[in-house]
Amino acid sequence: MLDLNGPLVLDGGLSTALEQQGADLGGALWTARLLADEPARLAAAHRSFFDAGARVATTASYQASVEGLVAAGYGAPEARHLIGSSVTIAREVAEEYPGSLVAASVGPYGAYLADGSEYTGRYGVSAARLRDFHGPRLELLAGAGPDLFAVETIPDADEAEVLVELLDEIGLPAWFSYSVKGNHTPAGQLLVAAYAVLIGCRSLVAAGVNCSDQADVLGAVRTAVAVTGLPAVAYPNRGGSWDADAKSWAYGDPLDLDLVAGWLAAGARLVGGCCGNGPADIAALAGNVAVTRPG
């Protein structure tokens, strides 16, 4: 069902849509808290992005892990159920919009730490620890039946090495996106080297960039396409900075739609928004993509 011959519009920041609804996203679980407490809010947020023109819903599993949910007071069986429910909630909404897809969000290890290290990488843990963390949640998400994985906001090529091995073991299609700073990952690796880690991963359908400054997207897209030979995925945040203590963004300027044509020309086929981009922003993007899609 994933046709990348032309551009496909992704959703925006799920947290942003939820905040616009008045949801409280404080705490280490972030959007994952709503899986247990307010699933109807999550469904409404997914619906708002589909109504805006998105054709992919990204699940509320970015920060969800059995370890994190257990630490928050849930039993292990309930934690496993809640992770799977992120896909179920999105799927039920997607079925209202024929042809739409569900991407199971897989955030970095640093998202579980909830200390801002998802934007720096270099967690000081072993590859074995990263594998033990990511493996079970990937299996739980895959078992819930998404169309693909959205492996996103990865700050470190060392973590990517672990993830691509796990992705091929599971075999579900996936896009893979780094967060970037200029031509480096937040952990300091050159993007050329970081994208080279993805070469040969049989499960990947696209590679690119998310939750990064829009000014850095074009360079990352060009590098991702040149290195991997895959279509690119691009969904920047709204700029600004993350306050790890307050668990909130201080947002910058809205997406400059004049940049989108360049992303598409460079090979981006999955385009959307990340933190700070709500349904109205995705509606504007969808209208722009309809006009500027490559022939």
Name the percent of the chain lying above pLDDT 90: 84
Asked if the model's pLDDT at residue 295 lies above 70, the reply is no
How much is the pLDDT for 116?
Answer: 83
Rounded alpha-carbon distances, angstroms, from residue 199 to 5, 79, 148, 196, 208: 21, 33, 18, 5, 13
Predicted confidence band of residue 245 (pLDDT cuts 50, 70, 90): low
Q: What token pair was written down for 93?
A: 């909404």
Structural domain includes residue 242 = yes
Tell whether the model's pLDDT for residue 218 goes beyond 90: yes
Residue 233, classed as helix, strand or coil, is strand
Number of domains the chain is built from: 1
* Structural domain for 131, as ranges: 8-292
Q: Is the pLDDT of residue 294 over 60?
A: no
pLDDT at 187 over 60: yes
Digit-coded pLDDT (tens) for 275-293: 999 999 999 999 999 877 6
Q: What is the C-alpha to C-alpha distance for residues 40 and 125, in angstroms, rounded to an integer?
A: 36
Mean pLDDT of 39-48: 97
Residue 211 · residue 153 · CB < 8 Å = yes
pTM value is 0.94
Which of these ranges, 10-24, 77-91, 148-162, has the smallest mean pLDDT? 10-24
Which band of pLDDT confidence, cut at 50, 70 and 90, is reported for residue 3?
confident
Q: What is the CATH number of the domain that holds 60?
A: 3.20.20.330
Does residue 2 form part of some domain? no
In a domain, 3, yes or no: no
Predicted local distance difference test score (pLDDT) of residue 291: 78
Give the least confident one: 16-30, 103-117, 126-140, 196-210.
16-30
pLDDT per position as a tens digit, 46-99: 999 999 999 999 999 999 999 999 999 999 999 999 999 999 999 999 999 999
- Which residues lie below 8 Å from residue 148, measured CB to CB, with a gap of 6+? 2, 101, 103, 104, 172, 173, 174, 175, 205
Residue 239 domain-assigned (yes or no): yes
* pLDDT value of position 246: 62
The token pair at 94 is 């997607």
How far is residue 186's CA from residue 176's CA, in Å, rounded to a whole number?
16
Name the band, by pLDDT with cuts 50, 70 and 90, for residue 253: confident
- First vs last C-alpha separation in the chain: 21
What confidence score (pLDDT) does residue 240 get? 67
